Amino acid sequence: MKKVYTRPKTMKEAHFHYCPGCGHGIINRLLMEVIDEMGLRESAICVAPAGCGMLVYNYFDIDTLESAHGRGAAVATGIKRVRPGNLVFSYQGDGDLAAIGTAEGFHAANRGEPITVIFVNNGVYGMTGGQMAPTTLTEQVTTTTPNGRNPILAGHPVRICEVFSMLDGTAYLERVTVNKPAAVIKAKKAIKKAFQCQLDGKGFSLVEILSPCPTNWKMGPVEACRWIDEVMTKQFPLGVVKEVS
Amino acid sequence: MSGNAALGEAAVLSGCTCYFGYPITPQNELTEYMAKRMGELGRVFIQSESEIAAINMVLGASVAGARAMTSSSSPGMSLKQEGISYLAADELPAVVVDMVRGGPGMGNISPAQSDYLQATRGGGHGDYKTIVLAPGSVQELTEVVPLAFDLADQYRNPVVILGDGMLGQMMEPVSFDNIKPPKQYTKDYTLTGAKGRPSRMVRSLLFDTKEEEEHNWKLVRKYQRMEQNEVRYETFLTDDAEMVVIAYGIGARIVKGAIKRLRQENMKVGMVRPITVWPFPAAILQELAKTVHDFFVFEMSAGQMIEDVKLALAGKGRIHFYGRPGGIIPTPVELYRIIGRHYYMAARRKEQ
């Protein structure tokens, strides 16, 4: 019988702690598949965040550092400057990159640090229980916007890819999602391109991944996946935002 | 050479391959010196977007195996505390320089010693300590820099160099002949890519409280080794002293001038100058307390080190205090008058 699917070699044999229907598990697996396919297991160094993604080192069989909340891009900068030959990437959520770590992400991007940021955007602070994130949609209900996000009081959802695209140091920025098989295949290609961009020394690369969070969105997994297509992508359009040849 | 520049050159000679910094007075000459020298040598220099970014770049460089340093002054040091706590928790070496200025808040850019408690009590969140070296001259700066890098590597812990605006900006002749090529340390914790070995993780999150407690006790045992082995101090004319002044850094230098004048008038005053303010040289004070009754603490703050002196003496003797907070630098003559008055009053008290 032909084996059509197996655990990536670089994935540890551990059970995910993620909630049912969460996108992190898919994204974790995609990253390790890409690292396997590109033969980067012995080169890769991951910087894990604070937030739902912080335990990736329980799943990734590569060298991993857990950084302070939001500081991933600064820590990755330090690692990459010492070890320019290694693949260095940070794994960051929307609170991590777009709120507390905006300065670190923005300036790493502006310096054109040849690192890759895997930016998981699910529009909420997941680990702390579903508070408003900088990427929470207008009128979206969270535990800290019980009447829906009011932009007059709480500002507007931040489009990181578009903001970073204005910086000369960024080389590759793409927004993808993982809400259906075709989208997952596209997400994998984007990760591969971002890593290749880093290996080619072109500059800063970032893949923003719209990721379902059924638990904090108070939806079923299927509904959450549909919501990404019907609502979330209106604010966060999918596709390549910037690619420097 | 200015203290800041001398510190930079000493770091270069000590094998510092990465420097990350953010401008703040009175330590800018150090950042500027590193910008020039690190560039010449093909080493890493980044002017970061903030002190928070700088300390996290240090953390990244350190975990990648490099000797890394950052520097700042008081307000910036407050911002670095988050990163220092992570360095301590992750057991990563780093050298952090604080050229202290007047505070709190924005304060001013004049020399001060008001970051003592922040530096010696960890400074950030959680149970941790850093070795804190407090040099008193530009020449001594060049001696503590290689020591700081070695101690950081030896204990896998951040080391703080606690200077002040005066030490950083004053010019003195300096020799670097004392600095030997850096020692090699086995670094079996660094993240280099899992080539031919199992993957590693460096983290400070320990959800299991038992595991976190064990980690804390492990750190405590390390700090106890530091307390046993790394206390450094200088004594000055303590053999026959009837009053012993405790002062550190540039404050001790001013006290030395005052003591020379006091001695001319046969006032038997000596000094203990802690070089490590953490671990604090408590044993020598306990030893001196067997024969000396009067101790005089001088600080360029409203009184911070005095807490350590009180703890060290544990109720023995009498502690006198003079502090000048806010960036004021007293003259040796001022200290001569104040210490002299206290010495005279102490002598009268003994006669009664």
Query: In percent, how much of chain B has pLDDT > 90?
Result: 99
The CATH number assigned to the domain holding B40 equals: 3.40.50.970
pLDDT at A87 over 90: yes
Chain A contact probe: residue of B16, B47, B199, B205 with most A CBs at under 10 A: B199
Nearest-Å Rg of the Cα atoms of chain A is: 17
Calpha distance B11→B60 (Å, rounded): 18
pLDDT tens digit string along A224-235? 999 999 999 999
Contact criterion met (CB < 8 Å) for B57 and A57: no
Contact criterion met (CB < 8 Å) for A81 and B18: yes
Mean of per-residue pLDDT scores for chain B? 97
Q: How many CB pairs under 8 A join A and B?
A: 128
The DSSP string of B91-141 is T--EEEEEEEBS-STT--SSB--TTHHHHHT-SSSSS---EEE---SHHHH
Split at pLDDT 50, 70, 90, the class of B352 is confident
Calpha distance B204→A69 (Å, rounded): 12
Distance from CA of B123 to the nearest CA of A (A): 16
User: In the predicted model, what is the mean pLDDT of residues B48-77?
Assistant: 98
Same domain, B254 and B268: yes
pLDDT confidence of residue B160: 98
Which residue of B90, B191, B204 is in closest CB contact with A45?
A: B191
Contact A136/A123 with Cβ under 8 angstroms? yes
pLDDT tens digit string along B2-55? 999 999 999 999 999 999 999 999 999 999 999 999 999 999 999 999 999 999
Give the residue carrying structure tokens 């510190």: B7
Nearest CA in chain B to A88: B193
Nearest CA in chain B to A104: B53
Contact criterion met (CB < 8 Å) for B56 and A68: yes
pLDDT tens digit string along B315-350? 999 999 999 999 999 999 999 999 999 999 999 998
Split at pLDDT 50, 70, 90, the class of B153 is very high
pLDDT confidence of residue B242: 97
Split at pLDDT 50, 70, 90, the class of B312 is very high
A64 in reach of chain B (CB within 8 A): yes
Same domain, B174 and B248: no
* Predicted model pTM: 0.97
pLDDT at B119 over 90: yes
Contact B25/B1 with Cβ under 8 angstroms? no
Mean of per-residue pLDDT scores for chain A? 97
The CATH number assigned to the domain holding B301 equals: 3.40.50.920
Same domain, B117 and B143: yes
Helix (H) or strand (E) holding B71: strand B68-72
Chain B contact probe: residue of A46, A59, A67 with most B CBs at under 10 A: A67
pLDDT at A1 over 90: no
A79 in reach of chain B (CB within 8 A): yes
pLDDT tens digit string along B192-240? 999 999 999 999 999 999 999 999 999 999 999 999 999 999 999 999 9
Same domain, B144 and B255: no
pLDDT at B250 over 90: yes
Q: Is A24-243 a domain of CATH 3.90.1150.10?
A: no
Has residue B171 been placed in a domain?
yes
Query: Which domain, by its residues, includes B251?
Result: 233-351
List strand residue ranges (DSSP E) for B212-268, in order: 233-236, 243-246
Split at pLDDT 50, 70, 90, the class of B102 is very high
A43 in reach of chain B (CB within 8 A): yes
A17 in reach of chain B (CB within 8 A): no
Same domain, B277 and B263: yes
Question: At a CB cut-off of 8 Å and minimum separation 6, what does B267 contact?
Answer: B243, B340, B343, B344
Q: Considering only residues 29 to 88 of chain B, which have any Cβ-Cβ distance to chain A shorter than 8 Å?
A: 44, 46, 48-50, 52-54, 56-66, 68, 82-83, 86
A47 in reach of chain B (CB within 8 A): yes
Domain boundaries, chain A: 24-243
Has residue B198 been placed in a domain?
no
Contact B189/A63 with Cβ under 8 angstroms? no
Has residue B66 been placed in a domain?
yes
Contact A16/A59 with Cβ under 8 angstroms? yes
Same domain, B289 and B326: yes
B346 in reach of chain A (CB within 8 A): no
B315 in reach of chain A (CB within 8 A): no
Which residue of B61, B63, B193 is in closest CB contact with A42?
A: B193
Same domain, B177 and B305: no
Structurally, how many domains does chain B consist of? 2
Query: In percent, how much of chain A has pLDDT > 70?
Result: 100
Split at pLDDT 50, 70, 90, the class of B351 is confident
Same domain, B217 and B270: no
What number is the ipTM of this complex? 0.97
Contact criterion met (CB < 8 Å) for A81 and B46: yes
Set of chain B residues whose Cβ sits within 8 Å of the Cβ of A104: 49, 52-53, 56
Has residue B65 been placed in a domain?
yes
Dihedral angle over CA of A145, A151, A153, A154, nearest 10: 60
Give the residue carrying structure tokens 């950052």: B70
Which residue of B57, B64, B90 is in closest CB contact with A74?
A: B57
Burial category of B55 from C-beta neighbours within 10 Å (exposed 0-12, middle 13-18, buried 19 and up): buried
Contact criterion met (CB < 8 Å) for B193 and A74: no
Has residue B294 been placed in a domain?
yes
Calpha distance B95→B184 (Å, rounded): 17
pLDDT confidence of residue A28: 98
